[in-house]
Structure 1
Amino acid sequence: MSAGIPPEQVTLEPISVRISTAVRITGICRSTIYELIGDGTIETVKIGRSTFILYPSLKRLFERS
């Protein structure tokens, strides 16, 4: 037997999500998401033509509320 963390205690979170996914999981409308990106509240990374929201940034938004 290995002495690791039991599988039921492991929580994996994404590193980033697409804007459409952020809209779906938060319930915040797309235009508000873009406003929050514009004012620096939500951090993004651009890879090619795709924009990804950093998941920890999205979590902080709700922890502050």
Structure 2
Amino acid sequence: MEEYLTTEEIATSLKVNIVTVRRWIKSGKLPASFLAKEYRVKKADLEKFIKEGHERRKIK
């Protein structure tokens, strides 16, 4: 069985705001499913997202 993470868990682990995580999901950068009234992300998808460097963004 695959492990799913909530947007709160992702925000905490990546040290970003939960709004940022939702923005990644809505833009399609981070695949997610809407389960139990909230977004859930497969742990494998999050690991791929991190490996590809999407969570790093410089502010100019």
Q: Does TM-score exceed 0.5, indicating one fold?
A: yes
Normalising by structure 2, what TM-score?
Answer: 0.71
- Look up the match of 1:27: 15
Aligned residues: 52
Q: Which runs of 5+ in 1 are unaligned?
A: 1-13
Larger radius of gyration: 1
TM-score by length of 1: 0.66
Q: In the alignment, residue 51 of structure 1 is paired with which amino acid?
A: Y
Matched, 1:42 2:16: no
Match of 1:46, SS state, is strand
For residues 49 and 36 of structure 2, what CA distance do their matches in structure 1 show? 26
Report the identity percentage.
8
Off by >3 Å, runs of 4+ in structure 1? none
Q: How does 1:1-65 map to 2 (within 5 A)?
A: 15-65=3-53
User: Which runs of no fewer than 5 residues in structure 2 stay unpaired?
Assistant: 54-60
